[in-house]
Structure 1
Amino acid sequence: MKYKVALLLIAFPLFFNAQSFRNYSNEFLNIGVDAAALGMSKAVVATTNNVNAIYWNPAGLVGIEDYQGSLMHASYFAGIANYNHAAFAMPIDKNSALGISIIRFGVDDILNTTQLIDSQGNIDFNRISLFSAADYAFNFAYARNLIFKDVKFGVNAKIVRRIIGDFAASWGFGFDAGLQFERNEWKFGLMARDITTTYNSWAINEEEFNKIKDAIPGQNQELPETTEITKPKIQLGVAKDFRIGRFFNLQTEVDLNVRFEQTNDIFSSKVGSIDPAIGFQLDYDQLVYVRLGVGNFQYITEFDNGKSLSTQPNFGVGFNYRGVQVDYALTNIGSVGNALFSNIFSITFDYSFFR
């Protein structure tokens, strides 16, 4: 309960000081999906080729041959915040495919104590209520082979719905686009997120806002901005597979995550910043998988104003048998807080094995 109260105290000041242009709006969409990809530190933009390509690079949907489905669950902040994902994809013909997915990231049962003290100054615990702060994303993807050999293109239209109890809610809309190219056993990928910028339009419940305004005199006296704009981001990837003996395969990929702003990334300037990620996947005859990854290279400013470099290692395992793949990843999906790691589970179904 104390974590939920803390999250509430953090969330409201951030929300009520929102600006029209947000460097970090819709950040829940940067967490990622699929334990297999997260175990490789998200370095999959060049190799993703199943239903989860809806998120990572819709161009990879061309690689599916039949109906596919995927489910994922992750939690952090001691299980208070939950992240869930479900997706479905199908081929249209040999050269194109469709996909749809939904993401929910939310904190439920948050204490609303704005009415804890009545008009007479008495504390009345019966006036406490509960609410949820939840973010939803609905993704619709289309992919096809281009006329050029080994070039795939995909686009993803997303609708974003964000709800903070009865206080405020928003609708957002944006586009992602991706490319994949393969030549001489090398794979290349490009994923551009929010290419047209993603707009979120907020509707504020003034009656509920006034309760918050009255609860803390002198604070939150003005209505927040009602429009947020998410800036574009780019992810570039290059990958190569290696055959090791008769049964083992090693997949390697290096990605560059580019933001057009100055951050604490390992490479940063006023023009933009680059955060590299490296992923490895070793499989035994495409039945058992072991994954390693490292990413989120960040410079941290110490108390003495010195700089130290931090990284985020990830680990994962998977098992694939007769069209059912179960994956697990040990990683910190939020990259914040005292809990260093989060447990992530996902399952992918390929209907072609059941025919």
Structure 2
Amino acid sequence: MLKKFVTLAAGAFALVSTVANAQVSAPKYSNEFLNIGVGGRALGMGNVQSAIVSDATAGFWNPAGLTDLKHKYNIVGMHSELFAGSVKNDYLSFATPLDTSSALAVSLIRVGVDDIVDTRRLYSASGQIQYDSIQFFSVADYALLVSYARKSNLLPGLKLGANTKIIYRHVGSFATCWGFGFDAGAQLERRRWKFGLVAKDITTTFNAWSINTDELREVYLATNNDLPKNSVEITMPRLIAGVARDFKMGEKFTALVATDLDFTFDGKRNVLLRSGLVSVDPHVGAEIGYGGIVFLRGGINNIQQFEKLEGGKSWKVQPNFGVGAAMGGLNLDLALSKVADNSNVSSVIVSLGYKFDK
């Protein structure tokens, strides 16, 4: 039975590789705001979720996990601030079982920088400063995900899911973008072992940019630059494979250890394993629970190599920590991520979930 799941994973890997090779002109790091992650539990574990997610955030991490919902109504909201609060990352999801075998979720994500100062008209034609001409604008990325999951009859313990995502991005009044794509996922449980597989942007996601040249013409001509043109940006497929194992330690304590491998096909990235064809970025996370009420979490991700100022290279990782509490259908999760090894600035993530039947 496990062999069939491995065969399914290999087939998905081959499909993603084929699509990637057909779109060699696609840029790297397209729609990267969707790879920041959502939920205090996930971010406290280094974004390791493909095999273990089972709440309303499954619509984002792996839609197959929605089949494990235990309550009729499931809501999760999150707020985090990155880079000393300059970037706001907000998330809201609602999920519900449709019957004993299927479930549906709707998720909304916004990542944005607000109140950016526009000083293009600060000086008048006579050279005088006009403070009342200063305006403000926002740069924000939005994603709406509609997810569906169902238990499969192909293999005992196999769950399948997919989502449709609509993307909207805007840079003030200067440019807007609309995108559309699909994700697909699977989970399999064998005793205390859990396996997960997610293919993001499985058909590639197309993003159509529309540039408001009237807003930019004056500045671009004055600085001797060419005006940008409308264009199409393609987000290449990404494959995530995960495995996890849970343990019981006495009557009250539980432990969970999980790892994910992210496979990208848009060229060589600064990750642990990389080549011109595929790059592999590993994540590792762990969670210790007491009585199903209190949880302590940790994880590492973003393993990258940096050039030293004094010469040579070194490897650095991003550590993550989190705590959680669950009682009466209410879940509160906090996570802390250090954004850089040489920085005292950390990202604080707060997420709140509520599950109920009436």
Specify the alignment match of 2:111 in structure 1. 105
In structure 2, relative to structure 1, the CA distance for the partners of 1:129 and 1:345 (3 Å cut) is same
1:223 is displaced (CA, Å) by: 1.7
- In structure 1, the residue matched to 2:123 is 117
CA–CA separation in structure 1 for the residues paired with 2:83 and 2:165: 27
2:68 aligned residue (63, 72, 75): 63
Pick from 145, 162, 169: which aligns with 2:176?
Answer: 169
TM alignment of 1:44-55, pairs within 5 A: 44-55=49-60
Whole-angstrom CA distance in 2 between matches of 1:47 and 1:202: 36
Residue correspondence of structure 1 range 68-83 to structure 2 within 5 A: 68-83=74-89
Instruction: Report the Cα offset of residue 269 of structure 1.
Output: 1.1
Question: Is 1:88 the equivalent of 2:94?
Answer: yes
**CA deviation string 1:293-348 (max 9, x = no partner):** 1111111122455221000111000000000000000014x669945411100011
> For 1:295, which of 298, 301, 308 is the aligned residue?
301
Q: Secondary structure at the match of 2:33?
A: helix
How far is 1:120 from its partner? 3.0
Cα distance, 1:275 vs structure 2: 1.2
Counterpart for residue 197 of structure 2: 190
1:286 lines up with 2:292 in the alignment: yes
Partner of 2:162: 155
In the other structure, the counterpart of 2:12 is none
Q: 1:279 to 1:339 in 2, by over 3 A?
A: same
Structure 1 unmatched ranges of 5 or more? 1-19
Indicate the residue corresponding to 1:208 in structure 2.
215
Name which of 312, 325, 333 aligns with 1:327. Answer: 333
Q: CA RMSD in A?
A: 1.8
| 1:263-282 → structure 2 map (5 Å cutoff) | 263-282=269-288
Q: Distance between the aligned counterparts of 1:127 and 1:338, measured in 2? A: 36
Cα distance in 2 for partners of 1:251, 1:130 equals 46
Shift, 1:225, TM fit: 4.6
SS of 1:51's equivalent?
coil
The question of whether the paired residues in 2 share the 8 Å contact of 1:292 and 1:314 is answered with yes
- The 8 Å contact of residues 166 and 181 in structure 2, kept in 1 or not, is answered as yes
**Alpha-carbon distance in structure 2 between the residues aligned to 1:230 and 1:162:** 14
One-letter amino acid of the counterpart of residue 241, structure 2: L
Match of 1:42 in 2: 47
Q: Deviations over 1:233-271 (max 9, x none)?
A: 111100010000110000110111111121111111111
Verify the 8 A CA contact 2:51 2:187 in the aligned structure 1.
yes
Normalising by structure 2, what TM-score? 0.89
Q: Distance in 2 between matches of 1:230 and 1:168?
A: 18
Distance 2:118 2:129 in 1: 14
For structure 2, the 5+ residue unaligned runs are 1-24
3-state SS in 1 of match to 2:263:
strand
What's the TM-score, normalizing by structure 1?
Answer: 0.90
AA at the equivalent of 2:332: V
Q: Choose from 13, 22, 29 the match for 2:34.
A: 29
**CA deviation vs aligned residue, 1:33-54 (integer Å, no higher than 9, x gap):** 0011100001111010110000
Q: Deviation above 3 Å: which 4+ runs of structure 1?
A: 334-340
Percent identity over paired residues? 41
Contact 2:318 2:341 survives alignment (8 Å): no
* Equivalent residues of 1:114, 1:211 under 8 A apart: no
- The amino acid of 1:194's aligned partner reads D
The one-letter amino acid of 2:159's match is: K
Q: Over residues 186-242 of structure 1, what are the superposed CA-to-partner deviations in whole Å (9 max), with x where a residue is unaligned?
A: 11001111111111111111210213314x5213x2224521111111111000100
Aligned length: 332
Partner of 1:241: 246
Residues in 2 aligned to 1:163 and 1:131: alpha-carbon distance in whole angstroms? 10
Whether the 8 Å contact between 1:177 and 1:193 is mirrored in structure 2 is yes
Once residues 338 and 23 of structure 1 are traced to their aligned partners in structure 2, the CA distance between those partners, rounded to angstroms, is: 26
Alignment partner, residue 8 of structure 1: none
Query: What's the counterpart of residue 137 of structure 1?
Result: 143
Task: Output aligned runs, 1:244-255, within 5 Å.
Answer: 244-255=249-260
Amino acid at match of 1:121: G
Is contact 2:83-2:346 (8 Å) kept?
no
SS at match of 1:49: coil
